[in-house]
Amino acid sequence: MKSASTFAKQGAQDEKNPMSSTEKPDNSKPSREERLAAKLRENLRRRKAQSRAMEDAHAPTGDSQA
Protein backbone atom coordinates (compact mmCIF):
# COMPACT_ATOMS: atom_id res chain seq x y z
CA MET A 1 0.00 0.00 0.00
CA LYS A 2 1.23 3.49 -0.85
CA SER A 3 1.87 5.97 1.90
CA ALA A 4 0.26 9.40 2.13
CA SER A 5 3.52 11.06 1.15
CA THR A 6 3.62 9.05 -2.08
CA PHE A 7 0.11 10.24 -2.95
CA ALA A 8 1.07 13.81 -2.08
CA LYS A 9 4.10 13.63 -4.36
CA GLN A 10 1.96 12.22 -7.17
CA GLY A 11 -0.56 15.01 -6.71
CA ALA A 12 2.20 17.62 -6.87
CA GLN A 13 3.51 16.10 -10.09
CA ASP A 14 0.01 16.20 -11.58
CA GLU A 15 -0.27 19.90 -10.76
CA LYS A 16 3.03 20.66 -12.49
CA ASN A 17 2.11 18.66 -15.58
CA PRO A 18 -1.70 18.60 -15.77
CA MET A 19 -1.71 16.56 -18.98
CA SER A 20 -1.05 12.91 -18.51
CA SER A 21 0.03 10.73 -21.41
CA THR A 22 -3.57 9.53 -21.94
CA GLU A 23 -5.16 12.97 -22.18
CA LYS A 24 -5.48 14.79 -25.47
CA PRO A 25 -4.21 18.37 -25.72
CA ASP A 26 -6.75 21.17 -25.60
CA ASN A 27 -7.72 21.95 -29.18
CA SER A 28 -8.33 25.63 -28.66
CA LYS A 29 -6.24 26.42 -31.74
CA PRO A 30 -7.59 25.24 -35.08
CA SER A 31 -5.43 22.80 -36.98
CA ARG A 32 -3.52 23.86 -40.07
CA GLU A 33 -6.13 22.25 -42.33
CA GLU A 34 -8.97 24.04 -40.54
CA ARG A 35 -7.18 27.39 -40.82
CA LEU A 36 -6.51 26.86 -44.54
CA ALA A 37 -10.12 25.81 -45.17
CA ALA A 38 -11.36 28.94 -43.40
CA LYS A 39 -9.02 31.13 -45.46
CA LEU A 40 -10.20 29.46 -48.67
CA ARG A 41 -13.85 30.09 -47.79
CA GLU A 42 -13.07 33.71 -46.92
CA ASN A 43 -11.19 34.18 -50.19
CA LEU A 44 -14.01 32.60 -52.20
CA ARG A 45 -16.60 34.91 -50.59
CA ARG A 46 -14.44 37.94 -51.29
CA ARG A 47 -13.91 36.92 -54.93
CA LYS A 48 -17.63 36.29 -55.45
CA ALA A 49 -18.48 39.69 -53.98
CA GLN A 50 -15.85 41.27 -56.21
CA SER A 51 -17.27 39.47 -59.26
CA ARG A 52 -20.81 40.59 -58.45
CA ALA A 53 -19.64 44.19 -58.07
CA MET A 54 -17.88 44.03 -61.44
CA GLU A 55 -20.99 42.59 -63.13
CA ASP A 56 -23.17 45.31 -61.60
CA ALA A 57 -20.78 48.02 -62.77
CA HIS A 58 -20.68 46.68 -66.35
CA ALA A 59 -24.31 45.63 -66.68
CA PRO A 60 -26.53 47.93 -68.74
CA THR A 61 -29.10 49.74 -66.64
CA GLY A 62 -31.85 49.41 -69.23
CA ASP A 63 -32.62 53.14 -69.20
CA SER A 64 -30.94 53.93 -72.51
CA GLN A 65 -32.56 51.35 -74.77
CA ALA A 66 -33.02 52.62 -78.33
> Each residue's pLDDT tens digit in the chain (66 positions)?
556 565 555 555 555 666 556 666 666 888 999 999 999 999 999 999 999 999 988 877 666 554
pLDDT reported for residue 30: 87
Tell me the whole-structure pTM to 2 decimals.
Answer: 0.46
Rg (the chain; Cα; Å): 30
Secondary structure (3-state) at 30: coil
What gap in Å lies between CA 19 and CA 25, rounded to an integer? Answer: 7
DSSP three-state, residue 51: helix
Query: Could you tell me the end-to-end alpha-carbon distance of the chain, in angstroms, rounded to an integer?
Result: 100
